[in-house]
Amino acid sequence: MILINLLPQELRIKETKKLNIPYRLIAVCVFVIFLGLSIYNLFLYVSVREEFRKLEKQWSAIEAKSIQADQLEAEVGGGGMAAEIDFYDTFIEPPLETAHILNLVSDLTPKSAWLAELKFERVQKEMMLVLNGVSESAGKSSKLIEIQNFSNSLKDQMEQVTSASSPSAMNQPSVNPASAFVPTTAVSTGLPVSDQKIEAIVTTTSQAGDEERAERMQFTAAFKTKGFVQK
């Protein structure tokens, strides 16, 4: 039998081709991909687990040494060596440094001069030294230069001592014997203050003589660290 469609072209039902989707092939591909990812993740897990076991064995081998290291660190940083260092900085080093400075004063003082008063104050690493003394007045200008040279030398030596020392925390007592002379006319000379740690100022005064005593020159030399604040 022959069927003839006599409907116009625009009224005819268009026949559509059925899509031939390979569902089975797609399912197989998805399964293969999932299986591959699972195997890869399993391999990573096994590798990480094995590495963890190796590290755990290594840690077990060094655990005892680690405990000893922690104990040593606690002794050094907590109260052992740190306490000894603090004790040295507080009670041992400041007297040694002070004694060194006093020895410098004794060694560098000119033979033609003598000290009437010495004052030394210390606040932790900061310090102040004041020297009051008298010098023979023969040749006033030469004695002035001698006192200035003495002050410069003492300043340089004190800077070497303080720069080689660590900070300390002990206040040194001051020595204040009575002054033996009262100045009359005063002439002030200042030593140049550099960028170094010690500042120095020298003041000289002349004292008139009498029948029993010749004219003399009195001097005051003050040394202090830049951070020193007098109370």
1-35 pLDDT tens trace: 677 777 777 777 776 667 777 888 899 999 999 99
**Between residues 17 and 228, which one has the greater pLDDT?**
228
Q: Are 214 and 119 in contact (CB under 8 A)?
A: no
- What percent of the chain has a predicted confidence (pLDDT) above 70? 68
Give me the residue spans of the domains in the chain.
Answer: 86-225
- With beta carbons less than 8 A apart as the criterion, state whether 226 and 183 touch: no
The overall average pLDDT reported for the chain is 75
Which tokens go with 15? 């026949």
- 8 Å CB contact between 115 and 132: yes
Stronger pLDDT, 91 or 26, i.e. the higher one: 26
Quick: pLDDT tens for 70-90: 888 776 665 556 666 666 665
Alpha carbons within 13 angstroms on the beta-carbon side of residue 202 total: 22
**Who contacts 118 (Cβ-Cβ below 8 Å, separation ≥6)?**
102, 105, 129, 130, 131, 132, 175, 177
**Mean pLDDT comparison of 69-83, 127-141, 201-215, highest-scoring range:** 127-141
Using CA atoms, how far apart are residues 27 and 24, in angstroms rounded to an integer? Answer: 5
The answer to whether 153 and 220 have CB atoms below 8 angstroms apart is: no
Q: Which tens digit of pLDDT belongs to each residue from 142-191?
A: 778 888 899 999 999 888 887 765 444 333 444 443 333 334 333 333 33
- Supply the pLDDT for residue 12: 72
What's the CA gap between 50 and 63, in Å, rounded?
20
